[in-house]
């Protein structure tokens, strides 16, 4: 429950919960972030070193404070190499499996790197993809409930190809599927598992025309291709992510044309029938959260939040000399956790984690703050369109309470201004499933918080 001073006006905007910097003897580059079972965060990436680079991962608590980190190498018998981790998942038994790439230079070769660590960061096993490709890179990993997992990326023999692999929980490969788009090269970026179907997106490279376009592939869980679509445009189209919400796929993409750069989002049903496209302010990254909104980032550390119709909810710019956001994840309440780096002008850079949540801005500061242990309970949360407000008798309510419920744009969707009982049942049969914000107040009580309606 979030508690604020008394409200006379309301405006939804961003609230910085924490902003943490991570330094090293080398230049840090963060790639991916996840929120884990204990409320903490795990971040993976690379620490650039004199020999090329070491893989890097760090675990924090729920407030972004570092608990442990590890910087390591997997040289495969060669000291002339570079290691990077691109993505990470948490297993059902709270281990962490990470995917990345190992590059060796004598001779030059790139291989997929898989790494499993325990809950304290100790390495349990490593795997290298031994397939005879000159170039391989692992972009994303998704896990299954039985401990198995998928990876997606690209491989190169004569031209880059999209590949998808399924692995057992110990890292051994179950099957590999390569998909080519001749005459174009293909780079796999993101993958989603939904209803025993796999959806992956990536980028097609037209080396003759020096352009890039986007594709989506639908597969079954054995790697058999069910459907493929390509959106080839007169300009260059670069997909940025693959998002799933209410059984609809959303693909934000950056479009460069004669008219200038533009970011759009295209939506598909699970049969890959196009549902529509919308244009958005320029952005680099996108993800969907449970209240049908997205949080995106641009160079210079600018955060933009809007809804799926393109309306802006808020914008926020973090003042840094030279910063770039690499990835974002979300919790069930819609708070965003962004990672990136800040260059200090020297040979090193600092990694950062920032947590941004929606908040209610208050403009009237004349009311006493109610303590967090006041005993007021609003439950269940998440709720099935019915909640109970329980107020302890010790608070001695002397005037009617007003309960207001707001949607993500700040509009009131429910109000009740005559609450006097110590226990009240409220029902919202007309509300859609989303994240809502409530305010409960009278002359002496002012409480705010969030409710998820299922």
Q: What is the 3-state secondary structure (H, E, C) of 261-308?
A: EEEEEEEECCCCCEEEEEEECCCCECCECCCCEEEEEECCCEEEEEEC
Please state whether beta strands 349-360 and 81-90 pair in parallel, antiparallel, or not at all (unpaired). unpaired
Task: Give the CATH number, domain containing residue 349.
Answer: 2.130.10.10
401 and 290 assigned to the same domain? no
158 and 293 assigned to the same domain? yes
Q: Which domain holds residue 158?
A: 12-360
How many domains, the chain?
2
Looking at the DSSP bridge assignments, the partners of residue 320 are none
Please report whether residue 217 resides in a domain: yes
98 and 186 assigned to the same domain? yes
Query: In this predicted structure, what is the pLDDT of residue 66?
Result: 95
Contact predicate 214/231, CB 8 Å:
yes
205 and 339 assigned to the same domain? yes
Query: In this predicted structure, what is the pLDDT of residue 42?
Result: 97
Condensed to tens digits (0 to 9), the pLDDT of residues 1-53 reads 333 333 334 455 677 889 998 987 778 889 999 999 888 999 999 988 666 67
404 and 316 assigned to the same domain? no
153 and 201 assigned to the same domain? yes
Determine which of 144-153, 307-316, 377-386, 400-409 has the lowest per-residue pLDDT on average: 307-316
340 and 412 assigned to the same domain? no
Question: What pTM, to 2 d.p., does this model score?
Answer: 0.76
Please report whether residue 6 resides in a domain: no
233 and 180 assigned to the same domain? yes
71 and 164 assigned to the same domain? yes
Query: In this predicted structure, what is the pLDDT of residue 417?
Result: 82
389 and 343 assigned to the same domain? no
pLDDT-based confidence at residue 372 (cuts at 50, 70, 90): very low
Task: Give the CATH number, domain containing residue 387.
Answer: 2.60.40.3080
324 and 200 assigned to the same domain? yes
**For all residues of the chain together, what is the average pLDDT?**
79
Query: In this predicted structure, what is the pLDDT of residue 370?
Result: 39
305 and 419 assigned to the same domain? no
Condensed to tens digits (0 to 9), the pLDDT of residues 132-149 reads 555 567 689 999 888 999
DSSP assignments along 173-238, one per residue: EEEEEEE-BTTBEEEEEEEEEETTEEEEEEEEEETTTTEEEEEEEEEETTS-EEEEEEE--SSEEE
pLDDT-based confidence at residue 379 (cuts at 50, 70, 90): confident
């Amino acid at each position: 429950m979030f508690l604020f001073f008394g409200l006379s006006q309301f405006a939804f905007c961003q609230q910085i919960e924490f902003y943490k910097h991570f330094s090293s003897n080398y230049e840090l580059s963060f790639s991916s972030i996840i929120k884990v079972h204990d409320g903490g965060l795990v971040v993976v990436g690379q620490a650039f070193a004199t020999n090329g680079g070491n893989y890097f991962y760090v675990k924090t608590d729920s407030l972004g404070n570092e608990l442990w980190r590890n910087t390591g190498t997997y040289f495969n018998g060669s000291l002339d190499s570079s290691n990077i981790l691109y993505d990470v998942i948490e297993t059902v038994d709270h281990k962490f499996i990470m995917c990345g790439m190992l590059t060796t230079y004598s001779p030059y070769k790139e291989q997929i790197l898989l790494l499993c660590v325990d809950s304290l960061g100790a390495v349990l096993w490593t795997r290298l993809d031994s397939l005879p490709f000159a170039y391989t890179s692992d972009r994303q990993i998704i896990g299954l409930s039985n401990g198995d997992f998928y990876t997606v990326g690209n491989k190169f023999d004569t031209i880059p190809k999209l590949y998808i692999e399924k692995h057992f929980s110990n890292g051994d490969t179950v099957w590999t599927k390569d998909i080519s788009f001749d005459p174009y090269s293909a780079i796999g970026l993101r993958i989603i598992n939904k209803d025993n179907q796999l959806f992956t997106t990536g980028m097609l490279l037209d080396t003759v025309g020096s352009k890039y376009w986007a594709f989506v592939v639908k597969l079954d869980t054995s790697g058999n291709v069910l459907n493929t679509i390509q959106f080839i445009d007169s300009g260059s189209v670069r997909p940025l992510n693959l998002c799933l919400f209410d059984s609809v796929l959303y693909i934000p993409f950056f479009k460069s044309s004669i008219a200038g750069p533009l970011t759009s989002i295209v939506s598909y049903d699970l049969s890959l029938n196009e549902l529509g496209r919308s244009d958005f302010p320029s952005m680099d990254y996108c993800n969907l959260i449970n209240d049908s909104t997205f949080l995106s980032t641009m160079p210079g550390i600018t955060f933009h939040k809007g809804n799926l119709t393109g309306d802006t909810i808020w914008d926020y710019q973090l003042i840094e000399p030279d910063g770039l956001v690499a990835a974002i994840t979300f919790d069930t309440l819609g708070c965003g956790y962004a990672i990136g780096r800040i260059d200090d002008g020297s040979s090193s850079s600092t990694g950062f984690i920032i947590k941004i949540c929606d908040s209610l801005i208050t403009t009237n500061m004349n009311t006493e703050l109610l303590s967090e242990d006041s005993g007021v309970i609003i439950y269940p949360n998440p709720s099935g369109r019915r909640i109970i407000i329980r107020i302890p008798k010790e608070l001695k309510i002397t005037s009617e309470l007003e309960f207001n419920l707001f949607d993500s744009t700040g509009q009131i969707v429910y109000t009740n201004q005559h609450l006097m009982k110590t226990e009240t049942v409220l029902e919202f049969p007309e509300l859609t499933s989303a994240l809502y914000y409530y305010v409960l107040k009278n002359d002496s009580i002012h409480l705010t918080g969030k409710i998820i309606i299922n």
